[in-house]
Amino acid sequence: MLDLAVIGARAVTPSGTKPADIGVRDGLIARVAAPGTLEDAARTIDARGTFLLPGALDPHTHLDAEMFGSRTADDFESGTVAAAAGGVTTIVDYAFQPEGGSLAEAVSRWDEKARGRAIIDYAFHVAILDPSAPAVAEIGRMVERGVTSFKIFMMRGFEERARDFLRAFAAAAEAGGLLTIHAEDQHLIGYCTERLLSSGRNGVAHFAASRPPLSEAAAVARALKMTELTGAVAYFVHLSSAAALHEIRRARAEGRKVLAETRPIYLYLSEEKFLEPGGERYVGYPPLRSRDDIEALWEAMADGTVDVVATDHCSWTSERKTADRFTRIPPGVSNLETLVPMLYSEGVAKGRITLERMVELVASNPARIFGLYPRKGAIIEGADADLVVFDPRAKVVIRAAEMHSRADYDPFEGSEVTGWPRVTISRGEIIVAERESRARPGRGKFLVRAPFSETRS
């Protein structure tokens, strides 16, 4: 007998979208069957009129993180509840190397934060802040432990340690690690910021001008040269501009393996938000861009230039997002709960991308790139039973008070969304139903990931 059956939905599988009934046993997908052919199950979900999606995998989150002298609003409990309510069943969070510390310390510290709190499965990247010789020597050992990706910030002391970072690039390439690169040019940003502040233009209305698209494109171009030299593969996080996408396309035209991610705020919001009252709530790195950049990103998602949509979820209260100048506003917004439904509503329902492409962007591609496929990211026999019963007709108006993040505002407040998860299942267990969490904190498991493989990704 099956533990659970999900019947009547149109399932998005690697072979296409089709009517299929899914049988679950021991936390795994035991059967992907023609309608009406499953054996008996202890529990059955009637999912007629819905799509059955693989649980989304968000490879870019910041839960229980400390920056700008504060701790983010969401820890691993509230953040993963928000994720599950939005159809995300796996996250990869960023563990930051402590000052003067090791990469192993970063992973241990983050595991302590997540263990006993996370309701969905999780993994870690390590953000390398000090590319010392001992830290570089750890990269191979981290990959052996299943922590197989490493964050590089190009605007945080990068210039002073560029040669050391090159050594880290080379070590990652040798070990099968993947570099996730925050590409903004430190000196271009510094120059633009100095000019603005020296002339008294320190309010959030001037924030976008402090980090222009040119600074992003220049950093992407430079990182591509550095990875070419060292043999490393670059995954560029949260790309925001047409200029940056141009550099990605140019490298691919030369035969380079390059991976690209964008985030939701760049798909739905423009830099005009900084001119509104409360504009500081939308500050992120890089900034919101022009409407032309928004359209360029949608085109890039449709044509395959962008591989992944991830949230960069980094939540704050409204009070903490205020400051006397834009350089002191902590970056980030709450995105986890709206990632999947908004991409469906604005992308699939409006004909910008197909349903199958959406599933690639938020599930199968991140699972492949980050060494978790086919365990995660696909409705396939033998995979973890991470499933989302998604109602394409549901209408939800986004209100922060009804969301699960501990942030007291939502960047998409008041937006009406078409399509929302009805049920979220993690390893065969119903963890959210009708927007209510049913999961106990700590049920989420740490995931050991495979080394990066160009053929798998």
pLDDT (mean) for 241-268? 98
Give per-residue pLDDT as tens, 59-116. Answer: 999 999 998 889 999 999 999 999 999 999 999 999 999 998 999 999 999 999 999 9
Q: Is the dihedral of CA 389, 392, 393, 394 positive or negative?
A: positive
- What is the model's pLDDT at position 353? 98
Q: List, in order of start, the domains of the chain with CATH numbers.
A: 2-53+381-393+416-437 (2.30.40.10), 56-369 (3.20.20.140)
Tell which residue, 154, 152, 189, 184, has the closest CA to residue 168: 152
Per-residue pLDDT at 266 exceeds 80: yes
* 189: exposed, middle or buried (Cβ count in 10 Å: 0-12, 13-18, 19+): buried
Q: For a pLDDT cut of 90, what percent of the chain falls above it?
A: 97
Per-residue pLDDT at 259 exceeds 90: yes
Per-residue pLDDT at 226 exceeds 80: yes
**What is residue 131's three-state secondary structure?**
coil
DSSP-assigned beta bridge partners for residue 241: none
Kindly give, in sequence order, each residue whose CB lies less than 8 Å from that of residue 444, ignoring residues fewer than 6 positions away. 76, 80, 114, 117, 118, 119, 120, 121, 122, 426
Banded model confidence at residue 315, pLDDT cuts 50, 70, 90? very high
Per-residue pLDDT at 435 exceeds 80: yes
Q: For a pLDDT cut of 70, what percent of the chain falls above it?
A: 100
- What is the model's pLDDT at position 68? 86
- What is the model's pLDDT at position 456? 78
pLDDT (mean) for 138-150? 98
- What is the model's pLDDT at position 365? 98
Cα-to-chain-centroid distance, residue 118: 16
Number of residues that make up the chain = 457
**What integer best gives the mean pLDDT of the chain?**
97
- What is the model's pLDDT at position 455? 73
- What is the model's pLDDT at position 457? 80
pLDDT (mean) for 245-251? 98
- What is the model's pLDDT at position 269? 98
DSSP readout, 360-378?
IIIIIHHHHHTT-TTTSSS
pLDDT (mean) for 406-425? 98
Q: Is the dihedral of CA 156, 361, 370, 27 positive or negative?
A: positive
